[in-house]
A and B are shown apart, each in its own frame.
Chain A
């Protein structure tokens, strides 16, 4: 706090960001964002989660410059070196490739999968759930029975079936994960919609003559969004694991792409004598999943309308 009083520009910015009387739409939004950020900083574990994600993003963006070796370069004379051997911090795999470099390059693949699933499955679920909840009647029955059918299958098994039908590869793995992971979001969004659809503020906008589309998109969805975002961050760990699982079964990323799940898969042959080949990518999956879970817990405290305000 003393640093702020010493620095008038910073103190002015802080006052501007915490004012009760914002002067424009953008200003009001920034005040809300800043207050959200302040409550996030009060939760050290959530900050740790956020830091892990920032590191993941930075690593995947800078992979070509920070990776010590080419992730695909084989060196058969130098295979299965233990961690800490010269030039190979995490050791080498069965083809003599540097495991650290492969994990660094694999970060962008993990990020790619996570982002693609995050922008498809929750959006589809949100649209279906809010439509079903707001319109009700036959629409609700049809959409929810469809959701039930998808929910009835175990997720990984259904994803396996889709990948088997579509052919192996990262894109198809992402598609399969997205197809299998939207139903919980639809359920969640429908439940939230049912609690808000008879609120007075929805009646009020109906009485202003707003169309159903405007009400769902502008009034119902923003209220469902926070619980969906929380659910997404908490599900991310599961999505990474499913992607790794598909990679492990040889249905996700194909060799020689350094996907973490596929790396564990190839390392399992050496698990007893050369433990690091499977353990290092496993640790990476563990840390990133943990980061998403911690952030999700923190976001729940900030965004969940039931937890405050």
Chain B
């Protein structure tokens, strides 16, 4: 089992030979092919790639939303099955991409935040809801509002609060800022950084935005067509010295649209 030397002695998350297929016999889509990576405790690990590269699928398989996978996923040395129990959900939580779709339209913020506590039989729900709202920078005035009364950034803060209220160790972030406008993006990223330091969280961040990844992550893996093309530290990314041609092209594309660069792009499928 290859363990990346960057990940330290004992990785908190270890994914080995992950394969995800969709569809039935005649029309199989092989979305993720043999993906392996390790994430150390307290680290922020980025999964980068273009649309359809399989990065979100990896995250959904890790979270348990997608059960059609093979390979091994280990959290803290425990191998995960396809069906996860409550102890898993208490350790691992997820923040979704679209804050307009991830909050129940008929539930108040209060209900959205207190329901996870009820499911896990936690005590002192009232105080927990109040504290987590303050922690994500929303005051108590937001507690009894409905999602349609909130802005995109406020909704994403509620979604983060919902993920945090169970006090997990690991947050899976599925493009948490790509649906927000630029100024709000920065606020949410800074909030996530602060919460990570305060609570000692481990992040797995999926993004197509290299600027976000460079700001947030310690290490990243570049994905294309369901495979991990290359693993980089953030220093290597900043120094623009990736080994793979695909990563160099992705890096070039992230600098902005350039007609001559676009003409020189090639397909790596």
Q: Which residues of A contact B (CB under 8 A)?
A: 20-25, 27-28, 32, 199-201, 203-210, 214, 218-219, 222-223, 305, 309
Contact = CB atoms under 8 A, between A and B. Distances in A.
A208 B115 contact: yes
Contacts of A222: 106
Contacts of B98: 200
A219 B149 contact: no
Contacts of B90: 209
Given A23-B144, A28-B144, A207-B94, A201 B86 contact: no
Contacts of B97: 200
Interface residues of B, number: 36
Given A21-B145, A28-B144, A305-B105, A204 B96 contact: yes
B96 A223 contact: no
B83 to A, nearest CB: 11
Interface in B92-142: 93-94, 96-98, 101-108, 110-111, 115-116, 119-120, 141-142
B115 A20 contact: no
Interface in B141-183: 141-142, 144-146, 148-149, 159, 162, 166
User: Main SS of the interface on chain A?
Assistant: helix
A205 B115 contact: yes
B162 A204 contact: yes
A27 B102 contact: no
A201 B104 contact: yes
B108 A25 contact: yes
A143 B144 CA distance: 38
Contacts of A32: 146
A22 B149 CA distance: 11
Nearest to B63: A207
B144 A24 contact: yes
A28 B111 CA distance: 11
B23 interface: no
Nearest to B64: A207
Contact of A201 (B65, B94, B103): B103
A24, A203, A305: most-surrounded residue (chain B CB, <10 A) = A203
B119 A208 contact: yes
B145 A28 contact: yes
Nearest to A211: B119
A209 B86 contact: yes
Nearest to B106: A222
A272 B142 CA distance: 68
Interface in B46-103: 63-65, 85-86, 89-90, 93-94, 96-98, 101-103
Contact of B65 (A27, A207, A219): A207
Contacts of A305: 105
A210 B115 contact: yes
Contact of B96 (A23, A200, A214): A200
A209 B119 contact: yes
Contact of B104 (A20, A25, A27, A219): A219
7 closest pairs, A vs B, by CB?
Answer: A200-B102, A209-B89, A28-B144, A22-B144, A208-B116, A209-B86, A21-B141
B145 A22 contact: yes
25 contacts: A21-B141, A21-B142, A21-B144, A22-B145, A23-B144, A25-B111, A25-B144, A28-B108, A28-B144, A199-B101, A200-B97, A200-B98, A200-B102, A203-B65, A204-B94, A207-B64, A208-B89, A208-B93, A210-B119, A218-B115, A219-B104, A219-B107, A222-B106, A305-B105, A309-B105
B166 A201 contact: no
Contact of A204 (B64, B102, B111): B102
Contacts of B105: 201, 223, 305, 309
